[in-house]
Structure 1
Amino acid sequence: MTETNPNEIVIVKSENSKINTVDFSNLIFGRVFTDHMFVCDFEDGKWQTPQIMPYQAMTIEPSARVFHYGQAVFEGMKAYKDENGKIFLFRPNENCNRINKSAARLAMPKFPEDYFFKGLETLLRLDSEWIKPGVGNSLYIRPFVIATEPAISASPAASYRFIIICSPAKAYYNEPVRVLFAEKYSRSADGGVGFAKAAGNYAAQFYPTSLAQKKGFDQIIWTDASSHKYLEEAGTMNIFFRIHDKLITAPNNDRILDGVTRKSVIQLAKDLGIECEVRRVSVKEIKAAAKDGSLKEIFGTGTAAVISPVSAFEHADDVFEIDQIKDSYASLFKSTLLDIQHNLSDDKHGWRYEIR
């Protein structure tokens, strides 16, 4: 059935939902997708009429520039449902702003904010049954943009496709992770695209991460590319260190992703009276703190992971185990964030965005 809503989104509804074939108690992250997706093409210098259609494979030319020059950016968001069936997003304006910032760095066109929100809200209303209530349940949302122009000359594309797909999710990391401090490989460099959610950033880290996994580690905490002396962020997360009762995290720069969960944790620390320093964090400082016992916690933050404690790290063949303490900052921030996201607590900063 095809229809056009008042906001000029062409909607083609799925004739048969696949929701009853999904075991929501045994989800593997990012493998199951909802019934519909949002699609909008950029042609002739402007974004065309947006569409919502059944989730499906796409036909794309093998010469599409995305395959040859990597013009692809994406975002990660979540939708939550409270016990009354209300649906909420968490700080979606940050994701809208960031995907356009990422696109600009890769010479891709800005996507209109009103298209972004109207499309997202319409999509979530259509697939609302896929959002399960209860803390720990969510709908992971993946907006992304790819260059579709069929041409292999080395220049920005003239045509693009903006897509939103959704996947029901549970916890990304169920157990504390073990990490390796980078000594050789780099995630990004000064003047590069590290701050952008560009697809190539993640592809480039798969190989060194696979080497770390062969050694028994889950992630790499990346160091600065020029000296490898300063800790910056993990593979899929921003990173925080707790020395005594003080939190420390690296400052944003053109190598580090401006994480939504990261900035939320910094604000929550302020709300809770926890000192949080945003400054350069050296490998030497963290190893010394681990040796003298003042390093109490390391944890990662991100949309998929929310808060993920680190149980051990290795650098230069030195391995340090981190005891998981009771009443940790990681557990405090995680429960505080989840309560806000699931409409279980006050939202004094206005971070919740209700889908009406």
Structure 2
Amino acid sequence: SVGVIGAGTMGGGITMNFLNAGIPVKILEMKQEALDRGIATIRKNYEAQVKKGKLKADKYEQRMALLSTTLGYDDLKDADLIIEAVFEELGVKEKVFKELDRVAKPGAILASNTSTLDVDRIAAFTQRPQDVVGMHFFSPANVMKLLEVVRGKHTAKDVLATVMGVAKKIKKTAVVSGVCDGFIGNRMIEQYSRQAGFLLDEGATPQQVDRAIEKFGFAMGPFRMGDLAGNDIGWAIRKRRAVEHPDMKYSRTADKLCELGRFGQKTGAGWYDYQAGKRDAIPSELVDKMIEDHRKELGITPRKISDEEIVQRLVYALVNEGAHILEDGIASKSGDIDMVYLTGYGFPIWRGGPMHYANQVGLFNVAEAMKRFAKNPRDDAAFWQPAPLIRKLVAEGRQFG
């Protein structure tokens, strides 16, 4: 039996995975209204499936019968696995895990759905760090296949094995990651997004960048993706970076966008404009002017940028950071990184994932392109030094994997 803390978008989506697999779930919230809202959303999702003929009415009833709710932590005392899906802030997680440590039965698995926070610090809020693990579901959690299972410094082997088994049962593709900022997927996507920002400074438009990478085969480009996820999420991460890594270089365009309150689809305006009830991304004159004004401020004369350069800078940024992740032992093999990108980030399946694609292009060619990008004064030269692992593989005539 499973306990889920938080009945928001994430908590509700996570819950549905277990109900679909016939596993009873108890959702905990602080207020009855929040519970009612969450349950209504789960019902709405299932009713849409029934309407489309994807789910039989009796199955829908069976699933809902497995769901119960509570406003008190003590009601989670019998759960075998408890997953928190609360606000992405360490102070909030601390309160939750101290309560879980108090009420959960011995041997219960305590999981955090954090997407970037330090799982070891979260585990330290309990007297049982061996039972704490990260289960990073991707949004919408009832649709996306990927589950990053984050192994903490103290996570016990049986806990890791159990979570990997449970992932199969709820039909997820589970990939084990070590503890670092952003784990595998988000640590790499940050470098990809940074390159997208530099390309705007140098002369590209959001539409051109998105079109080029979508033509390469991505489900959506970085700017459409930002609008869908919410640009304020990246903004919060950059503010945290400014304190922790003041030397990290970014284009200022994304911050300027957020200062205008353009957080994406949820506000009807982001990198693109949106019409109510539609998801079509409409190019925005206001955003184009903001980018032009920003270039003038920096004294940059825009240049013509080829689609080939856009694709190489975005994809090779993933590859270089992926190589660092392998060196750091965060991922145990390059195929794990490829699975993360194929199942969680819309990387074109027929290209096999970023690391596999780099093998096909030839690591020598990838490294030469990186050295070329390092000479661009508007880019981040330090980032484009090919990772030691890439240099080693090139020297030995070998590949990832």
TM-score, with length taken from structure 1: 0.25
Return the structure number with greater relative CO, CA threshold 8 A, min gap 6.
1
- Name the structure with the higher strand share: 1
- Name the structure with the higher helix share: 2
TM-score, with length taken from structure 2: 0.23
